[in-house]
Amino acid sequence: MDGFITLAEAARILVGNDATDEALETCIAWLAGQAKQLQAVKAWTTGKDVLTGGVAYERQPAEWRIPASSLDELRLKRLNVSRAPAPITPLRGFGSAMRQRTKATGLFFRMTVPKETRFFTVREIPAITAAAIYPRIPSETGRVVTDVLIQPLEDGTSARRPTIPTTDEWAILQALWAHLAPIAFPLPESEWGQYAQAVEDAKQPPAWRIVPMFRDEDLNRAIQRAATQQEHESQLSAAIERQEFQPLNPLTYLPEFAIGEAGRNALVTVEDFTRFAATLGIEATVEATQDQPVMSAIPTAPAIVGPTFAKLVSALNAYPSQYQGKTPKLDDDVRPWLRNTHTCTVREAEVFGAIIAEHFGLK
């Protein structure tokens, strides 16, 4: 089930990879109590390959499956906060992709396209748009505390499963933390100790203990990003099928509908990419251009095998460094260069020269 995770996986996101089995089981139990909000799928059919009709039964809570996005939404609703912008490591040259809601346009996220970009491949677009929504963050960010639960005690030992603090219990915590800075989630793990210690040192300790809910930000975003990428792949395919825009053949740069691997290697113009991104709530803007345009090589080469195409790709990639800042003539400079440097035949130089002229705007 694409885009889904189990409650065990969700609990691991919240408590972290180094949590104890007890903490993991406690978190799974708490998530099971939120099954309705999380849209949990408790039973599904398997074994159709060995038994007519298969068999369906309700699984153990740890195996229940939930949409990856619903876990984050539950946390946001509980905390009543919005996702804050985070430092990012740009994806493949895409800088300043940041969470930023623009009320005037209805767009929720922004990203910047490098000025030298002319095309994207169909293959790479879902990864780029997903990274604009869930950007990568530095690994040193580590774990954070996203919430606290209350676990009642019986005879000094933990008994019942943790629950969300009531208004009265939260007031007790606020009183115990009055000498500390107001707690705000998500809270870095390094800052959590002082709040836990304040509860332990209370002169009249409450009849319950606090259970912090941890989340590994990097892992959580990776899961969210992967699920979002799958959603965007489906939306992109649907947009192409509806002919909202038409990808280009990477060899001829002419509109051409293709399926399978050839379709994934087709090119999408920056203008069409920008329009598609807007349907996902992403505002994609191109970096300001300079007076002198910067020539660039072609995008990721399509998976076409053969010596003829290899010569074309080699020439397209070598052209920028050969003629950067120059204005070569097609017949006097480019086609002789193709024949002499890239061993093209007269016919190949004729065709390849026309392709290079179109790609680099040679007049």
Averaged pLDDT, 342-363: 84
137 has a pLDDT exceeding 60: yes
Distance CA 168, CA 180 (A): 19
DSSP type of residue 265? T
Q: What is the pLDDT of residues 84-98, one digit of tens each?
A: 333 333 333 333 333
- pLDDT attached to residue 143: 76
Q: How confident is the model at residue 295 (pLDDT cuts 50, 70, 90)?
A: very low
Distance CA 363, CA 330 (A): 8
Instruction: Copy the structure tokens of residue 91.
Output: 């994806």
> Please, what is the end-to-end C-alpha distance for the chain in angstroms?
52
The pair of three-digit structure tokens given for residue 218, joined into one six-digit string: 């990097």
| Two tokens, residue 290 | 């300079």
CA nearest to 79, candidates 10, 165, 201: 165
Comparing 152-166, 188-202, 269-283, which segment has the lowest mean pLDDT?
A: 152-166
**Cβ atoms 91, 97 nearer than 8 A:** yes
The count of C-alpha atoms lying within 13 angstroms of the C-alpha of 348, restricted to the half-sphere facing its C-beta, is 17
71-75, 120-124, 125-129: segment of lowest average pLDDT: 71-75
Least confident of 121-125, 191-195, 260-264: 260-264
**What pLDDT, on the 0 to 100 scale, is given for residue 142?**
65
Considering only CA atoms, which of 94, 72, 91 is closest in space to residue 83?
Answer: 72
Nearest-angstrom CA–CA distance, 198 and 154? 21
Q: Is residue 195 predicted with pLDDT exceeding 90?
A: yes
Q: 210: which 2 tokens? A: 């606090």
| More confident: 172 or 69 | 172
Least confident window among 120-134, 234-248, 280-294, 337-351: 280-294
Mean pLDDT of the chain: 75
pLDDT band at 189 (very low <50, low <70, confident <90, very high): confident
| Percentage, residues of the chain above pLDDT 70 | 72
Structural domain boundaries in the chain? 1-67, 144-215, 307-360
Rounded CA-CA distance 47/51 in Å is 6
Per residue in 302-344, pLDDT (tens digit) is 445 567 877 888 788 788 778 777 788 888 888 998 988 888 8
- Indicate the pTM of the whole model: 0.40
The predicted-structure confidence for 237-269, as pLDDT tens digits, reads as follows 999 888 888 888 887 778 776 666 667 888 899
Residue 35 CA to residue 29 CA, distance in Å, equals: 10
The residue ranges of DSSP E strands in 202-356, in sequence order, are 208-216, 267-269, 282-286
Could you tell me which residue, 43 or 351, shows the higher pLDDT?
351
Longest dimension (CA), the chain: 93
Distance CA 70, CA 79 (A): 14
**pLDDT for position 197:** 93
| CA dist., res. 277 & res. 296, Å (int) | 23
* CA 37 to the chain's CA centroid: 23
Please count the helices (runs of H) and the strands (runs of E) in the chain.
Answer: 13, 13
Q: In angstroms, what CA-CA distances link 56 with 32, 53, 67, 174, 343?
A: 20, 9, 20, 47, 64
Q: Is the pLDDT of residue 66 over 80?
A: yes
What gap in Å lies between CA 134 and CA 228, rounded to an integer? 8
pLDDT at 29: 81
